[in-house]
A and B are shown apart, each in its own frame.
Chain A
C-alpha cells in the first residue's frame, strides 16, 4: 500500500512537472486517485492537485519514526563532572558571544586552575576554534573533562586534536607520518631518532629534509651537531641554510666558535684617553669557502652599507650574544654601548637584534629593547627594527622595559615610538606599576588636550590591550581621576567605559571561578 502511494506521488510530481497538456493522466494514476477516495474531477489538473494535497497531508500526519538500536552504553562518570557555576557559565557565554572574546584564555586558565569543567554546550564551538589554534587547544584540553574526551571521538574532525599514534614502520610511512614518528622518537630516544633519519636522508626530497630539520629544531641538542655539520656540505641551499641556523642556535657549537674566531680577527678594542674604549671593525674583504660553507652569503645585502658590510652583519647575526659578553667581560648593556660607539654601530646593533631573536636570549632582549626605547638619539636609531624581539616577550622583561620607557616619556606617547609599539603588540601581563603609569599618562593627556580632531587611535589600542593584560583588581583604583570636565571627554568616554567594564568583568569572572 505504502509503495503504491509513493509511486502515485512520484507520478503526480512527474505529470505536474511537464504539464498535463504534454503528459495526460495514465489509467494507473486514475486508479490510484480513485483509491484515495477522489472521484474523477472536472479536469485532470483539479484531480492531480486534490490528490497531491491528500498525499501531502497523509505524509505529514503519518510520519513513522525509524527503529534504532537500544543497546549503546556510555560511562556513567560522564555525568558526574564538576561543571563551573551558573555565573561562570554566563561569563563564558558573554565571552563566546563576543562581548569579551579576548578573555577566553584567562577564563580557561582559571577554570583549569580550580579544576572545573566547561559546560558541555560550549564544547563544540570551542573544539572547532581549537582546530585552528594549537595554543587554545593546549588550554582547552585541561577542562573538557571526560565528556569532552568522549565527544571528540564522535567527530572525526575533532579526533585530529587528540594524541596521534602511527603504527606504520619508518620505511613504509608517508612523509607526514615519518615527521610524526621522528618527533616522537626524538623525545624518547634522541640517538635512535637521528639514526633513523640518517638511514633515509639521501632519499628524502628537499622540502621533506627542511621539514625534518624544523622538527629537529624543537628538540635541538648537542648530539645533533655532527649530523648538522655534515649538512653544511649539502647540495641544496635550503638545507644548508636551515642547518646553519640550527648550528648557530646550538650552545657552544663549532660553527659559532669558528664564526667568533673570524670576528676576532676583524675587531680591535681601542683604548682612548679620557674616553671609553672604542670597537674598531674591519670589514671582511675576502670570503673563503669555509665562510661560505658556514652560511655567509657573499652576494646578499641583508644589512645596510654594501656587500662587505652585509657579510659582517651576517657573521654577527650567527654568533650567540653571550659570547660577546664573555669575550669582553662586560654586561649585555655595556656591550650594546660599546657597539653603539663603533663606526658600524647601526649595523652591529641590528645584527645583534637578529642574533638575539635567533637565540631567544632574555638578558640581551632586555638590553636591546631598553636601549631602543630609551635612546635619545632618535635620528640615528630611527630605522632600527626591534619588533621581532617584542614577540613572545617574557613578562618580566616586558615590564622592566615598558616601565623604564614610560618613566622616560614626558607628555603624549607618540604613535610610532617603540614604547607605543611595545605596549600595543606584546601579549605580556602588565605589572600594576606599568598600568598606573600608562593610565596616569592618558589621564594627564586627556586633561590637557582640547582638540577633538586629533583622535589618538594608538591610545585606544593600548587601552584595549591593557583591558585584558593588566590586573583586574585595580578596577576600583582605575575608576577614579578621569578628567570628565575635559573638552574631549565625550570622545573618549566610551573607550574608558569599555576599559573599566572589561576589568570589572574579568574581576567578577576570576572570582566566580575561584568559588568552589
Chain B
C-alpha cells in the first residue's frame, strides 16, 4: 500500500498529535530505523534514558509503541510512518528482524487466523453444551429480573411519576441534555437489581431515566414513553419463544446479552469498500466515551454501524477517519434489521468519499424507515442519507427540504445548523445523519464532491 502524507495525518487522533508526529518525521529523532517490507521499526529518542521502541505494520496499518501516551496512534508511530514514506527508497532493509518485531507481527497474524481455526468434534460438542447450560442459567435469572421490572414499572404508574425521585446535575448524553443526581435512589436501586439480573441494557436505560425527571416541560411524556418502551421490552421477553429468531436476537441484545466477537468472526461478512460517512462521539450515562461510526458499502449500499465504548478514557484502539474508505469484510451482529457490525481485515484506500447512496425524496425515505421500524420495534437510531436537500429556517428551526418542499427538522450540534447553511448557500446538498425518532442529527455533508464532517 502506498501511503500519502495526508492519509497518514488523517489517522491521527487529534491535530496536536498530527503536528507532533510531523515534528518527529525527522532522521535526527530516530535510531536504527529498519524495514522488512511489510513493517518498519525504529527507536525514537525520548527525554528519558531509554528510547521508545516503535513498530508500524504497513499492512493495515497497525502500530505498536512503548511510550506512555494514551493517544492512538501516538506521535512516534505517526512520525515513523511519515518518515518511512518520505524516505522509502533509502530505508535500511534489516538483515535480522528484532525479536520484539517478529513476536508482535506473529501475534497479529495469529489473531486474524485464530477465529478460523477448526475445533475437534468432541471439543465442539462440549463447548456447545457448556454454552447452552450457561445460556439457560442466565435466561432464568433474566426472567426473574423481567418480572421484577414489570412490577416496578406498574408501581410507578400506580403511585404516579411525579412522586418518583428527581435530580439536579446537568450532563449530556448521546442526543439530549438531561439533569442528573447521584442520590437518585429509586433509579439507582432498580438499575442495580437489573444489573444483578444480568440485564445490563435495561440497567443502563434506567440510569438514563433518572435524568429525565424534571428535565424540561415535556418530561412526563418522555418518562412515560421510556417506561412504556421498557414495559414493551419486558412483555416481548416473556413471549420470546413466539418471536422470530432474529427478533429474539435483537431483543436479547437490547436487554444486554451481547454477542461475542469470536462468534461474529465465525460467520461470513460482506466484502466491500466501506465508506466512513459519519461519526458521533459523545458521553453516556456512565461517563464512558461512546463512538458510533457509520459506514456505507460502495457496492452493497448497505449501512453498517461500528459502536465502541471507552470506559477508562484511554482512547479507542482504532481510528476511523471520517470521509475515508476501508476495504474489508463487515461482520454484522445478528438482527432482523442488521446494522451493528465489526470489520475484519480492513485496509484504508487512497480514494475518499465523494458520493453515497441516499434518498432525494423525504417521504420515500420515511416509508423505508417505517418498514424497518415495523420489523424491529427496538430499533434505535437509524441512519439516513438525504440527497439534494435545501436547508431552510422555519419558525426558528432548521429543516432539510426536498424538491417537493417536504421538510425534516435538524438537531443542532456544534454550530451544525450554520455549517449546513454555509455549505449549502441556499443550494441542494447531501446530508447524512442519525434519525432519532423526532429529528435528524446531522453528521456529515457532501457538496460539490467534498465530504465535510460536522
Contact = CB atoms under 8 A, between A and B. Distances in A.
Interface stretch (A58-66, A162-170, A177-185, A236-244): A58-66
Contact of B23 (A51, A70, A501): A501
Contact of B225 (A20, A45, A52, A79): A52
A125 B366 contact: no
A310 B404 CA distance: 78
Interface in B88-113: none
A180 B76 CA distance: 56
B158 A49 contact: no
A491 B48 CA distance: 10
B158 A9 contact: no
B269 interface: no
Interface string B301-314: 00000000000000
B425 A79 contact: yes
Contact of A124 (B28, B401, B422): B422
Contacts of B154: 43, 45-46, 49
Nearest to B363: A65
Given A19-B159, A124-B415, A72 B390 contact: yes
Given A16-B160, A61-B373, A124-B415, A154 B393 contact: yes
Q: Helix, strand, loop or mixed for chain A's interface?
A: helix
A46 B157 CA distance: 9
Interface in A67-103: 67-70, 72-74, 78-79, 87, 90, 93-94, 97-100
B369 interface: yes
B425 A60 contact: no
A339 to B, nearest CB: 49
B212 to A, nearest CB: 13
B377 interface: yes
A350 B340 CA distance: 73
A17 B15 contact: no
Contacts of A22: 160
Nearest to B233: A53
A344 interface: no
B405 interface: yes
Contacts of A497: 20, 23-24
Contact of B426 (A16, A74, A87, A93): A74
Interface string B1-14: 00000100100001
B159 A66 contact: no
Interface residues of A, number: 71
A404 interface: no
A472 to B, nearest CB: 14
A72 B391 CA distance: 11
Interface in B381-432: 390, 392-394, 399, 401, 403-408, 415, 418-419, 421-423, 425-427
B231 interface: yes
Contacts of B19: 94, 99-100, 501, 505
B415 A57 contact: no
B370 A62 contact: yes
Interface string B152-187: 011111111111000000000000000000000000
Nearest to A505: B19
A417 interface: no
Given A68-B392, A74-B427, A501-B22, A21 B224 contact: no
Contacts of B390: 72
A151 B228 contact: no
Contact of A17 (B47, B153, B161, B408): B161
A73 B427 CA distance: 9
Nearest to A19: B160
A504 interface: yes
A150 B406 contact: no
Contacts of A21: 158-160
B23 A65 contact: no
B157 A20 contact: yes
Given A16-B160, A72-B426, A78-B425, A94 B373 contact: no
A287 interface: no
Contacts of B69: none
Given A65-B408, A124-B419, A493-B47, A53 B229 contact: yes
Contacts, number: 188
B170 to A, nearest CB: 23
A424 interface: no
A388 to B, nearest CB: 36
Given A74-B427, A97-B15, A60 B415 contact: no
Contacts of A51: 228
Contact of B377 (A57, A99, A119, A500): A57
A48 B231 CA distance: 11
B157 A49 contact: yes
Contact of B425 (A20, A62, A150): A150
Nearest to B448: A79
A56 B229 contact: yes
B404 A16 contact: no
B161 to A, nearest CB: 5
Contacts of B255: none
Interface string A33-54: 0000000000101101111110
A73 B425 CA distance: 11
Contacts of B15: 93-94, 97-99
A434 interface: no
Nearest to A94: B15
B157 A45 contact: yes
Nearest to A491: B47
Contacts of A291: none
Nearest to A492: B47
Which of A18, A51, A60, A123 has most B Cβ within 10 Å?
A60
A305 interface: no
B418 A50 contact: no
Contacts of A484: 28
A144 to B, nearest CB: 10
B405 A68 contact: yes
Nearest to A70: B405
B220 interface: yes
Given A65-B363, A67-B405, A498-B23, A99 B224 contact: no
A256 B20 CA distance: 57
B366 A18 contact: no
Contacts of B223: 16
A12 B47 CA distance: 66
A69 B393 CA distance: 11
Contact of B153 (A49, A56, A79): A49
B118 interface: no
B266 interface: no
A78 B427 contact: yes
Contacts of A79: 425, 427, 448
Contact of B158 (A14, A19, A93): A19
B290 interface: no
Which of A45, A51, A491 has most B Cβ within 10 Å?
A45
A121 B366 contact: no
Contacts of B244: none
A155 interface: yes
Interface string A124-160: 1100100000000000000000011011001100000
A41 to B, nearest CB: 10
A51 to B, nearest CB: 8
Given A22-B160, A120-B422, A63 B228 contact: no
Top 4 A-B pairs, shortest CB-CB distance: A19-B160, A74-B426, A124-B418, A52-B228
19 contacts: A16-B156, A16-B157, A17-B161, A17-B162, A19-B163, A48-B157, A49-B232, A57-B377, A60-B437, A61-B369, A63-B366, A65-B363, A65-B406, A69-B392, A78-B427, A98-B16, A121-B445, A128-B415, A501-B20
Given A16-B161, A66-B406, A69-B405, 8 more contacts: A12-B224, A43-B154, A46-B154, A49-B153, A78-B426, A125-B415, A128-B415, A150-B426
